[in-house]
Amino acid sequence: MRFRTIASVVAGAAALALAVSGCSSSSTPSESSVASAAQSVAQSATSKVASAASAAQSAASSALAGATGNSQVLSSADAGKLVVGIKFTQPGLGVKNPDGTFSGFDVEVAKYVADKLGVDPSKIEFVEANSAQREDLIGKGQVDYIVATYSITDARKEKVNFAGPYFIAHQDLLVKSDNTDITGPEAMAGKILCSVTGSTSAQTIKDKYAADVALQEYPTYSDCVDALLSGAVDAVTTDDVILAGFAAQHPGQLKVVGKGFSNENYGIGLKKDDTAGTAAINTAIAAMIADGSWKKALEDTVGPSGYTIPAAPTPSS
Amino acid sequence: MDFSFLSDPRYDVLGAFWVTVQLTVWSAIGAFILGVVLAAMRVCPVPLMRGFAGGVVNIVRNIPLTLIIIMMSQVIANQLGLRLATRQPGVNPQAFLDTQNFRLAVLGFIIYTSTFVCEAIRSGINTVPPGQAEAARAVGLTFTQVLGIVVLPQAIRAVVAPLGSVLIALIKNTTVASAIGVSEAALLMNTLLENEADKFTAVFLVIAAGFIVLALPTGLVFGSLAKKASVKR
Amino acid sequence: MSERASVLYDIPGPRARRVNLIISIVFGIALAAALWWVLSVLASRNQLTAEKWSPFLDSKNWTTYLLPGLWATLEAAALSVAIALPVGALLGVARLSDHHWVRWPAGIIVEFFRSIPVIILMLFAFELWFFAFDAASPFAAVVIALVLYNGSVLAEVFRAGILAIPNGQTEAGFAIGLRKSQLMTIILLPQAITSMLPAVVSQLVVVVKDTALGGILVGYSELRRAGNISASSYGNPLPTYFVIAVIYIVINLLLGNLSTVVERKLRTRRGGPVVEVEAGAQTDLMAARQEILVFDEPGSASVMQQEERGFESRP
Residue of C nearest to A1 (CA): C295
Span C239-261, average pLDDT: 92
- Nearest chain C Cα distance for residue B159, angstroms: 18
pLDDT at A316: 66
More confident residue, C171 or A45: C171
Of the partner residues A216, A218, A230, the one whose CB lies closest to the CB of residue B79: A230
Span B114-122, average pLDDT: 94
Reply yes or no on domain B11-229 having CATH 3.20.20.80: no
Chain B residues touching residue C131 (CB < 8 angstroms): 200
pLDDT bin (cut points 50, 70, 90) of residue B233 is: low
A138's enclosing H/E stretch is helix A134-139
> B172-202: per-residue pLDDT in tens?
999 999 888 888 898 888 888 877 778 889 9
Whether C70 has a pLDDT exceeding 50, the answer reads: yes
**Average of per-residue pLDDT values in chain B:** 90
Helix, strand or coil, per DSSP, at residue C24: helix
Whether A35 has a pLDDT exceeding 50, the answer reads: no
Chain A residues touching residue C102 (CB < 8 angstroms): none
More confident residue, C79 or A40: C79
pLDDT at A273: 86
Helix/strand/coil (H/E/C) assignment for every residue in B105-136: HHHHHHHHHHHHHHHHHHHHHHHCCHHHHHHH
Domain ranges in chain C are 66-312
Contact B92 A214 (CB under 8 A): yes
Distance between CA C93 and CA C189 in Å, rounded? 9
> A73-169+265-305 maps to which CATH number?
3.40.190.10
| Beta-carbon pairs below 8 A across chains A and C | 142
Which amino acid appears at position C275 of this protein?
V
Range(s) for CATH 3.40.190.10 in chain A?
73-169+265-305, 171-256
Whether B96 has a pLDDT exceeding 60, the answer reads: yes
Whether C253 has a pLDDT exceeding 80, the answer reads: yes
Lowest mean pLDDT, pick from B119-133, C199-213, C292-306: C292-306
Of the partner residues C7, C10, C248, the one whose CB lies closest to the CB of residue B62: C248
Span C91-120, average pLDDT: 92
Lowest mean pLDDT, pick from A30-34, A299-303, C71-75, C172-176: A30-34
* Fold of the C66-312 domain: MetI-like fold (1.10.3720)
Chains touching chain A at 3 or more Cβ pairs under 8 angstroms? B, C
Domain ranges in chain B are 11-229
What CATH architecture is A171-256? 3-Layer(aba) Sandwich (3.40)
Query: In the Cβ-directed half-sphere of B116, how many Cα atoms lie within 13 Å?
Result: 24
Q: Does B50 touch chain C (CB under 8 A)?
A: yes
**Average of per-residue pLDDT values in chain A:** 75
ipTM comes to 0.91
pLDDT at A85: 92
Which amino acid appears at position A237 of this protein?
T
Chain B residues touching residue C120 (CB < 8 angstroms): 175, 185-186, 189, 204, 207-208, 211
- A266: number of Cβ within 10 Å: 25
Of the partner residues C46, C86, C127, the one whose CB lies closest to the CB of residue A9: C86
The beta-strand segments (E) located in chain A are 82-86, 89-90, 94-96, 102-103, 124-128, 145-146, 160-169, 171-176, 192-196, 214-218, 235-239, 254-256, 264-271
Whether C1 has a pLDDT exceeding 50, the answer reads: no
Q: Does B58 touch chain A (CB under 8 A)?
A: no
> C132-146: per-residue pLDDT in tens?
887 778 899 999 999
**Average of per-residue pLDDT values in chain C:** 80
Contact B45 C12 (CB under 8 A): yes
> A47-97: per-residue pLDDT in tens?
333 343 444 444 434 434 433 457 888 888 888 889 999 988 888 888 888
Which site among C232, C238, C292, C294 would you substitute to test the A interface, given the most A Cβ atoms closer than 10 Å to its Cβ? C232
Span C46-75, average pLDDT: 90
Whether C315 has a pLDDT exceeding 60, the answer reads: no
pLDDT at A248: 82
Q: Residue C164: what are its φ and ψ, rounded to 5°?
A: -75, -15
Which site among B43, B151, B205 would you substitute to test the C interface, given the most C Cβ atoms closer than 10 Å to its Cβ? B43
Distance between CA A304 and CA C33 in Å, rounded? 44
- Nearest chain A Cα distance for residue C82, angstroms: 10
- C201 CB contacts (<8 Å, ≥6 apart)? C255, C258, C259, C262
Comparing CA positions, the residue from C215, C216, C214, C167 lying closest to residue C188 is C167
Distance between CA B183 and CA C75 in Å, rounded? 31
**Which ranges of B87-229 does DSSP label H, i.e. alpha helix?**
94-127, 130-138, 143-145, 152-158, 160-173, 185-195, 200-229
C-beta pairs of B108-111 under 8 Å, 24+ apart in sequence: B108/B65, B108/B68, B108/B69, B108/B71, B108/B72, B109/B23, B109/B27, B109/B30, B109/B31, B109/B65, B109/B69, B109/B170, B109/B173, B109/B174, B109/B177, B110/B27, B110/B30, B110/B31, B110/B34, B111/B34, B111/B60, B111/B68
> B23-77: per-residue pLDDT in tens?
999 999 999 999 999 999 999 888 899 999 999 999 999 999 999 999 999 888 8
Chain C residues touching residue A85 (CB < 8 angstroms): none
Which site among A25, A46, A48 would you substitute to test the B interface, given the most B Cβ atoms closer than 10 Å to its Cβ? A48
Span A115-127, average pLDDT: 89
Residue of B nearest to A233 (CA): B78
- Nearest chain B Cα distance for residue C216, angstroms: 6
Which site among B63, B72, B173 would you substitute to test the C interface, given the most C Cβ atoms closer than 10 Å to its Cβ? B63
Contact C189 A6 (CB under 8 A): yes
Span C183-204, average pLDDT: 84
Highest-pLDDT range among A151-155, A299-303, C78-82, C227-231? C78-82
Chains touching chain B at 3 or more Cβ pairs under 8 angstroms? A, C
Whether C287 has a pLDDT exceeding 70, the answer reads: no
pLDDT at A71: 80
> A260-290: per-residue pLDDT in tens?
888 888 999 998 888 888 888 989 999 999 8
pLDDT at B29: 97
Span B153-177, average pLDDT: 92
Q: Does B167 touch chain C (CB under 8 A)?
A: no
pLDDT at C33: 97
Span A249-263, average pLDDT: 84
pLDDT at C288: 35
Distance between CA C135 and CA A32 in Å, rounded? 10
Lowest mean pLDDT, pick from A231-240, B107-116, C170-179, C227-236: C227-236
pLDDT bin (cut points 50, 70, 90) of residue C291 is: very low
